[in-house]
Amino acid sequence: MALAHRLRAAVGVDQSTAMLDVFIQEATARGLEARSVAGTWPAVAINAGKADLVVCHHVAYNVSDLGPFVTALDAAASRRVVMELTLTHPQTSNAALWQQFWELDRPTGPTAQDALAVIRDVGIDAAIEIGAAGSLRNEASIEARAVTAARMLCLGPDRLVEVEAAVAALPPRSVQRAVIWWDIRP
């Protein structure tokens, strides 16, 4: 919505109808003509249609095969594609918890650089910019993060105090973000 003042219309694609409802509300509040397409990309790409600018916001790490995904983003754009993602997979910040509670080493990737390599491998000449995205909005409390972490770690409520202490000891989450973008070749 940061670009709403420069747009005439917007199309939101998501598998969550609740997320799409929020998208429509936010777009309408900004005076945008908006429509939503429920489903997963690229399966519903044809329903979304073509746009000058295609934005993919924090979705790349949920994609099982990034090549066809970005190829479809490219095909849907007439001017530019912009993808924003964290520098590493969001779950890498929980690696210390897996080590502490289960003695399991977790992967340190994938990374934004890995995504860039895949994009370039499919023949797209993409650029990457790294920068701060500002403060983390709506950062959950330590208590709420501990409940989520305990569920993720398959630990019962009897371990919640211990999980809360471990979550509190984690380093702050990075506000660094990667923006991968490319212009569409005629």
Mean pLDDT for 18-24 is: 96
Question: pLDDT tens, 151-177?
Answer: 999 999 999 999 999 999 998 888 889
Average predicted confidence (pLDDT) for the chain = 93
Q: What pTM, to 2 d.p., does this model score? A: 0.86
3-state secondary structure the chain: CCCHHHCCEEEEEECCHHHHHHHHHHHHHCCCEEEEEECCCCCCHHHHCCEEEEEEECCHHHCCCHHHHHHHHHHHEEEEEEEEEECECHHHHHHHHHHHHHCCCCCCCCEHHHHHHHHHHCCCCCEEEEEECCCCCCCCCHHHHHHHHHHHCCCCHHHHHHHHHHHHHCCCCCCEEEEEEEECCC
Question: pLDDT tens, 73-112?
Answer: 999 999 999 999 999 998 998 999 999 999 999 998 999 9
Residue ranges per domain, the chain? Answer: 1-39, 52-183
Residue 138 pLDDT more than 60?
no
Q: What percent of the chain has pLDDT over 70?
A: 97
Please report the pLDDT score of residue 8 as a whole number: 85
Task: Give the CATH superfamily of 52-183.
Answer: Vaccinia Virus protein VP39 (3.40.50.150)
